[in-house]
């Protein structure tokens, strides 16, 4: 495995730390991925799907959908660069979403395609 330096950082103690990442790790971060997330909490009737679509479009390069489920959760499917999918997942788990998110469960897979943009279902 080949390691490439990403930067040097000085700690408060004066110790210098070298941060490295492998070429394989960086390549994996650029690969396309499929994120399926189930968001639970007070996430229906508050514009959650609309804001999720807006955030996905803002991040760029994501396709998929946000869907209300009968049990009160919202299912989010996003395909695109893994890094962008992870940013969307961070947003879903963050404090900037409408309503109240109690938890998010996710699975990762290879993209299946077939989506035209990011839809609200």
- Catalytic positions, please? 49, 68
Strand partners, 55: none
- Please answer whether residues 101 and 23 qualify as being in contact, where contact means their C-beta atoms are separated by less than 8 angstroms: no
The number of beta carbons lying within 10 Å of the beta carbon of residue 60 is 9
């Amino acid at each position: 495995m080949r390691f490439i330096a990403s930067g040097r950082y000085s700690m408060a103690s004066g110790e210098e730390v070298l941060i490295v990442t492998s070429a394989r790790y960086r390549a994996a971060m650029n690969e396309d991925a499929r994120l399926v997330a189930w968001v639970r909490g007070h996430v229906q009737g508050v514009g959650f799907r609309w804001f999720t679509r807006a955030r996905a479009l803002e991040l760029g390069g994501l396709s998929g959908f946000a869907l209300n489920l009968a049990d009160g959760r919202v299912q989010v499917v996003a395909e695109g660069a893994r890094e962008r999918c992870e940013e969307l997942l961070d947003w879903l788990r963050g404090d900037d979403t409408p309503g109240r998110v109690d938890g998010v469960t996710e699975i990762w897979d290879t993209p299946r395609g077939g989506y035209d943009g990011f839809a609200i279902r």
